[in-house]
Amino acid sequence: MSTVPELTPEQARARIVHGALLIDVREAHERATGMAEGALGIAKGDLQAEPSTHLPATDREVVLICQSGKRSMDAARMLHDLGYTHLASVQGGTTAWRADGLPLVQPLQGDAERDFNERYSRHLLLPQVGVPGQQRLLGSRVLVVGAGGLGAPASFYLAAAGVGHLRIADDDVVERSNLQRQIIHTDASVGTPKVLSARERLMALNPHLQVEALQVRVTSGNVDALLDGVDVVLDGSDNFPLRYLLNDACIRHAIPLVYGAVERFTGQVSVFDAGRQRGHVPCYRCLFPEPPPPQFAPNCAEAGVLGVLPGMVGLLQATEVLKLLLRVGEPLTGRLLSFDALGMRFRETRLRPDPACPLCAPGTAFPGYIDYAAFCNAR
């Protein structure tokens, strides 16, 4: 049994009134949502690293508090083992303190720090993200090609997640038929360029980001400039010529490409990263060496699509982008994830690199961009 007593919030507050030192051992971003009145904020890791600096007197009465009571008890036991003699932990932590109606205070912070801690608080709680990971997201650049069915949900969540620089390229304007699935646009946006409509909504969601709205058709003449400085490319296109172009450009510049496609009730997602891992993972051409005949590859305007399906696929794409930027988890590199909305089933297919691929085979020089429209229409 622990030798460190647990106090109710009321008992802890009574101890503080009589001179006990209350220490909140949560991280700074957690304390931003409110601290028990009278508490001193010292993160558990800092307290463990230099206990004598923060608590020079081993006989001082100290009460520790965290969010739920677990970390504070762990910290109290650590201090007890170091010779501190007058310790206690608040049972239920700040959650119980708040539930009991006891006073909370906001720690002193600048506006930017407060916004960061509050806006990304759920990310900051994840060990795989934390403050360093969130700062990495804020310093990242993503090119989103297309502000339509896939680009709309994907860019929404990338902006919400705090990807600091979004470059969105699309030459189309908003039509009323888009609104069934392209959720970034509104009825008031009909007739306006999609990239400007998207930028307005994204900046309303997260005004601290940089959103480049480029009303351009992506071609072999401008693709290199569009990829300049970006960390990941998200493919929200809906035609084969552009998919092949993005694949080739990403191989040339060694940038991962997050692919997505939808048709009627089915969708696909994968990550093509052959530019950085030649011979080990496939590229888009390894999967589709040649485009299918037009009759087997209709677009949404010709075949129709269930409105929520692009949302599903776009969110999966956004997830892959965040994993790549944070360098966590297992990206869909070398795997094709297929989704059947009618059966509500996911199927994963392993993909292998083509050793004879004209683009990504080891030792292959970049052949230059081709006439992709002619390439696709010829088949």
- The whole-angstrom distance between residue 96's C-alpha and the CA centroid of its chain comes to 31
Q: How far apart are CA 235 and CA 317, in angstroms?
A: 9
Residue 218 phi, psi dihedral angles, 5° rounding: -75, 125
Strand 104-105 vs strand 35-36: parallel, antiparallel, or unpaired? antiparallel
CB atoms within 10 A of CB 48: 15
Q: Could you give the C-alpha distances from 376 to 50, 269, 293, 368, 370, in angstroms and in order?
A: 65, 21, 8, 16, 11
Q: Tally the residues of the chain.
A: 379
- State the burial class of residue 39 (Cβ atoms within 10 Å of its Cβ: 0-12, 13-18, 19+): buried
Per the structure block, which two tokens stand in for 78? 């650590």
d(CA 242, CA 159): 24
Which residues are known to be catalytic? Answer: 300
Contacts for 263 with CB less than 8 Å, ≥ 6 apart: 298, 300, 303, 305
CA 26 to chain centre: 24
- Sheet of 266-272: strands edge to edge? 210-214, 165-169, 141-145, 232-235, 257-263, 266-272, 335-340, 345-350
Determine the straight-line distance between the first and last CA of the chain, rounded to whole angstroms. 75
